[in-house]
Structure 1
Amino acid sequence: MTPRDVSRPLPGLLLLVVGGVLAHLLSTTVLGVNRLLLAVGLGVLLANAVGVPEWAAPGVGTHNRWLELGIVLMGARVAVDQLLSTGPLLLLLVVGFLGFSLVFVELVAREVFEVPERLGSLLAAGYSICGVSAIVAVSSGVRAKADQIAYAVATILLFDAVTLAVYPAIGRLLDLSDVVFGVWSGISMVSTGPVVAAGFAYSEQAGQWATITKLGRNVFIGVVAVLYAVYYARRDSEGSSAASWRSLWEQFPTFVLGFAAVAAVASTGVLPAGVLSLFERGYQWLFLVAFVGLGTSIEIRNLRNTGARPLLVVLASLLTVSALSLLAAVLAFG
């Protein structure tokens, strides 16, 4: 790696930092709006009003890395004892709704809206697991065409933008508890970034529960990608695509292991209060920087080109899973 490779992302990273600082200042001194939502809004404004400058693109594109690092640091603030006491029930809800979502989207796509099979599989993986990352992960195994990938990505990004704005409003309208809101959004929203943003926009505790619940879905990305690859390889009679441990590891969101490690160490009480406070401030600022970048991925002109049928498939799935998971979260944690 050359010095040029190291320095290329710096201008864009500086732009994200400036956006995060601006969101913080506007939130605390002028608008009184949640600073994470403001950070996303600033990113959307930049992408759609003037566009991300070419010199900034490499750095802006690193926003997912800062989100992942923030999630790792957030592990220090997780109440592990509370998580362990509800862990089996939470895991049951996550796995149950993940499986239900996969099957429901596939059936609705094929039987109701007659969406091409491969596009339906992309939508199923994208909605059920972790949005665009899951679409990319399964696309090669599904053997999807470029335009199908583009439709799936655009559809998911549209619902990321809508749910990020709508979920906190619904939560406050229904006066949901922090835990219920976090679990509900973690199960039924789409991508990791919007889930974390919506959770922390609701409250600190809701943000932690939303993140933990969403990570529970994310860890299945490798398994689902391999299963789709095996299914399409066998169905197309091109031989068996063996599910290897290596392919599973390549798809696995390894930052989840960092989150678990930090949470485990923090739960022992060995970390000084000053370090815990530093970690807390660190992940809050990392989220701000990441969400400015997240906002730049929401390009309105591209969302307008999304086909109606993929949109209706995800809308039907979102409404169904959202209603059922809200009921389950209230019964389990309300």
Structure 2
Amino acid sequence: MLSSATLQPRYRKALFLTLALICFLPAINSPTALILGFMLANVVGMPQDWQLGAVTKKLLSLSIICLGFGIPFSQAQQVTLNNLPLILGSIIATIVIGTLLAKLFKLERNTGHLIACGTAICGGSAIAAVAPAINAKNDQTALALACVFVLNSIALFIFPLIGHMLDLSQQQFGVWSAIAIHDTSSVVGAASAYGEEALKTATTIKLARALWIVPVAALSAMWFGGERKLKVPAFIVYYCLAIAISSLLPQGQLLYDGLFIAGKRLLIVCLFLVGCGITISKLRSHGTRPLVSATLLWIAIACGSLSVVLLTRS
């Protein structure tokens, strides 16, 4: 990586803003945006005082809310209810398998549980919610987040390829990606690369899974003896509100279509910001056992959910 002194801060900032704006263009897709961010972080470097994590979280929440305006309530209800057994079953199976793998690889109890919860529900958001509930240390939380980060990046590239190889329908791919990919950003990124119907299905199911943050964090607090006031993430509430507004007030369809498109482009920018947070030095500092454990857990859930999707193919 170039040293911080190689490129003046103002030029690095200008380069960052230029690439972020470029990601708004239709020619830039999800994987390309992620690569651009990764290259920027590892070749030029990101200033330590930039709070990209907080910015990314806010922009991702905004993009998800905008996507809600493009999903009819009837479709959201049907997709969620039809896949409720798969959603609940996958969450339970992931936490159980993740706990066993953590013991097998002799990971710290907190670290293993955070990886399992992040894989089971919604990646970084679940880890952030569960960490204080179990009194996890900062390094344990960072390690779990790093593992999820890496696997999310891989999923963004390989899931659409596998979907096309297996000739999955838009609906099937949406279900599979929502169950098998960790973070909402990567789920929506992979689904948007596959097609608009896949995007709507994946977003609906993923956010239905995200609601389970609350009971999982509460049970984790009881299991680990921690304590935390729990609440549903605000963006999920606003996402549901966006669906309700677009369904109850159809006369604003032109506006809703514009917000839906804006949400998709903003998501691409979010993936660029995610890439900016991935550095080779960070990955090396954590060792291999947690990443191997997280990878095996991810493969198990991805294969298991894919099998269910294929079995339900008409």
The two structures have a TM-score, normalised by structure 1, of 0.82
State whether structure 2 residue 44 is matched by structure 1 residue 50. Answer: yes
Q: Deviations over 1:33-61 (max 9, x none)?
A: x5222222211111111112357x24674
Q: Tell me, which stretches of 5 or more residues in structure 1 are unaligned?
A: 1-10, 29-33, 234-240
Do the aligned partners of residues 88 and 312 (structure 1) sit closer, same or farther apart at CA in structure 2, a change above 3 Å counting?
Answer: same
Do the aligned partners of residues 150 and 276 (structure 1) sit closer, same or farther apart at CA in structure 2, a change above 3 Å counting?
Answer: closer
Q: Deviations over 1:215-248 (max 9, x none)?
A: 1221111221221121111xxxxxxx677xxx12
Instruction: Confirm or deny: 8 A CA contact 2:40 2:46 kept in the other structure.
Output: yes
Do the aligned partners of residues 151 and 86 (structure 1) sit closer, same or farther apart at CA in structure 2, a change above 3 Å counting?
Answer: closer
Tell me the number of residue pairs that the alignment of Structure 1 and Structure 2 aligns.
304
Q: Which residue of 2 aligns with 1:18?
A: 18
1:35 to 29, 35, 55: 29
Q: Which residue of 1 aligns with 2:170?
A: 178
Instruction: Confirm or deny: 8 A CA contact 1:129 1:220 kept in the other structure.
Output: yes
Please state whether the residue corresponding to 2:80 is helix, strand or coil: helix
Q: Which residue of 2 aligns with 1:7?
A: none
The two structures have a TM-score, normalised by structure 2, of 0.87
Deviation at 1:322, TM superposition (A): 0.8
Residue identity opposite 2:238 in structure 1? G
Do the aligned partners of residues 61 and 113 (structure 1) sit closer, same or farther apart at CA in structure 2, a change above 3 Å counting?
Answer: same
Q: Which residue of 1 aligns with 2:186?
A: 194
Counterpart CA distance in 2 for 1:272 and 1:13 is 38
Counterpart CA distance in 2 for 1:297 and 1:40 is 10
Q: Which residue of 1 aligns with 2:235?
A: 255
Counterpart CA distance in 2 for 1:79 and 1:130 is 23
Q: Which residue of 1 aligns with 2:291?
A: 311
Q: Which residue of 1 aligns with 2:90?
A: 97
State whether structure 2 residue 148 is matched by structure 1 residue 166. Answer: no
Q: How large is the Cα RMSD of the aligned pairs?
A: 2.5
Instruction: Confirm or deny: 8 A CA contact 2:63 2:263 kept in the other structure.
Output: yes
Instruction: Confirm or deny: 8 A CA contact 2:80 2:204 kept in the other structure.
Output: no
2:140 to 138, 148, 155: 148
Residue identity opposite 1:23 in structure 2? C
Identity of aligned residues (%): 31
Counterpart CA distance in 2 for 1:15 and 1:333 is 46
Please state whether the residue corresponding to 2:37 is helix, strand or coil: helix
Residue identity opposite 2:230 in structure 1? L
Residue identity opposite 2:187 in structure 1? V
Residue identity opposite 1:80 in structure 2? F
Q: Deviations over 1:144-163 (max 9, x none)?
A: 33332232222111111111
Alignment of 1:206-217 (within 5 A): 206-217=198-209
Q: Deviations over 1:165-218 (max 9, x none)?
A: 111111111111111111101101111111111111111211221121211221
Instruction: Confirm or deny: 8 A CA contact 1:157 1:303 kept in the other structure.
Output: no
Q: Deviations over 1:115-138 (max 9, x none)?
A: 222221121112112222222322
Instruction: Confirm or deny: 8 A CA contact 1:23 1:42 kept in the other structure.
Output: no
Q: Which residue of 1 aligns with 2:8?
A: none
